[in-house]
Amino acid sequence: YQSSDWAERAFCKTCGSHLYYHLKFHDHFALSAGLFQEADLSKLSQQIFIDEKAAYYDLANDTPMLTGEEAFAAFEAANGESD
């Protein structure tokens, strides 16, 4: 479904699991890691909404981290939008 002006989300019709987040104006898809049996073959490239992450865990990969505000600004910039 269209979750915002610039993105859409997809969920499994059977169980409701989140499948992906897609930036509509780009070829960017954010896929849920749990979708893949061979998850060890993939690498985390970026963390977004890091300011909303629960304090009781950290991810092992050293990746760029964006707050929600920074992520929205990046999405808007990618779509040619500005304030």
**pLDDT by residue (tens digit) across 36-65?**
777 666 777 889 899 999 999 888 888 999
For residues 47 and 79, state if they share a domain: yes
For residues 48 and 81, state if they share a domain: yes
For residues 47 and 72, state if they share a domain: yes
For residues 25 and 57, state if they share a domain: no
DSSP string, 20-62: EEEETTSS-EEE-GGG-TTGGG-----EE-GGGS-TT---SS-
For residues 31 and 2, state if they share a domain: yes
**Full residue range of the structural domain in which residue 83 is found:** 43-83
Q: How many domains does the chain have?
A: 2
Average pLDDT over every residue of 18-26 = 82
For residues 31 and 50, state if they share a domain: no
Give this prediction's pTM.
0.59
Which pLDDT value is given to residue 66? 94
For residues 47 and 83, state if they share a domain: yes
